[in-house]
Each structure stands twice: as structure tokens, then as C-alpha cells.
Amino acid sequence: MKQFNFDNCVKEGLLRSVPPSKEKAEGSIKAGMKWLEEAEKDLKSEAFNSSVLSSYLAMFHSARSLLYFDGYREKSHYCIARYLEEKYVKNKLLESKWIQLLDHYRELRHDDQYSITFFATKDEAASGLITAKEFIERIRNLLHAKR
């Protein structure tokens, strides 16, 4: 995939303007929480690849809640991070480490789904779960501050 910045994502239609929706934002956070529960269950049952995937999806859905709140819709997982960089990191509302973590787990998710050699370890799954919990909490704090 091409490496896009925010402007490229918009130009290519990978980020689109939509009516802002507090309801969709809240629904996306709830979806993130459900994926977090899945990640915990997967880790406990030693389904490490599934736990990594579920942790990423928890982060994805919580990040997407900010887009819904602001009036955007994504057509690319990659472009969600570019949106957060442009609208939140550049405005000093979010630390860049969260974007780096979102990108890292997006790449792990890609390896998990498409590679025939990727197998997550217990430590990777546990670390993903901790990161997802912290990520969701950070996004929820951002949403709360915007209301």
C-alpha cells in the first residue's frame, strides 16, 4: 500500500467528510470495549494470534470514534492514524506514541491475517491487551474533553 498523509487520504477518498455523530462515536467506543473483552478471553485461552487481533480491533474502533465525533468516515485502517496525527497530534491533543502504537498493532494485525509464518507469543498478546486498554482510556478521555 502507498504511504499516504492526511491530505492524500482525503484526496483518495480514504477519509470522507460525514455528518458528525456522537451516537456513532459512542457506538464505536462500545465496539472497542467488546473487542477488548474478546482479547482478554483469547489471552486466557492461549489463543494469542486472536488476542493480538482483538486488541488491535479494540484500538481501531476506539480511534474511529474520534472520526465519527468530528464528522469523518474512514475507508482505510492506515488513514485513521493519519487523521489522528493531523487533527490531534499536530494540535497537541494526543501524544504521538499512541499513533506509533496504533500503526504497530495494525501491522501486526496484517501479519496475523495474511502471513503464513506469523505466530504471536503470549508476551505479545499480553502486551497488546495492556496497550489496547490504555489506548481506549486515552481516547475516552479525549472524547470526554470534547463534550
Q: What DSSP line would sit under 33-78, residue for residue?
A: HHHHHHHHHHHHTT-HHHHHHHHHHHHHHHHHHHHHHHTEEES-HH
Q: Is residue 37 part of a domain?
A: yes
Question: What does the pLDDT read at residue 146?
Answer: 80
Tell me: pLDDT of 100 over 90: yes
> DSSP label at 85?
I
Tell me: pLDDT of 1 over 70: no
Tell me: pLDDT of 102 over 70: yes
* 124 — pLDDT class (breaks 50, 70, 90): very high
Q: Is residue 34 part of a domain?
A: yes
Q: Is residue 6 part of a domain?
A: no
Backbone dihedral angles phi then psi of residue 73, each to the nearest 5 degrees:
-135, 135
Q: Is residue 127 part of a domain?
A: yes
Q: What sign does the dihedral 125-77-31-112 (CA atoms) show?
A: negative
Per-residue pLDDT averaged across 36-46, rounded?
98
Q: Is residue 40 part of a domain?
A: yes
CATH number at residue 40: 1.20.120.330
What is the number of structural domains in the chain?
1
Per-residue pLDDT averaged across 57-67, rounded?
98
Q: Is residue 51 part of a domain?
A: yes
Cell of 16: 470522507
**Beta-carbon neighbour count of residue 131 at 10 Å?**
19
Tell me: pLDDT of 106 over 60: yes
Q: Is residue 5 part of a domain?
A: no
Question: What does the pLDDT read at residue 117?
Answer: 85
Domain extent for 72: 14-142
* 2 — pLDDT class (breaks 50, 70, 90): low
Cell of 116: 503464513
* 111 — pLDDT class (breaks 50, 70, 90): confident
Q: Is residue 7 part of a domain?
A: no
Tell me: pLDDT of 116 over 90: no
User: How far is the C-alpha of 94 from the C-alpha of 96, rounded, in Å?
Assistant: 6
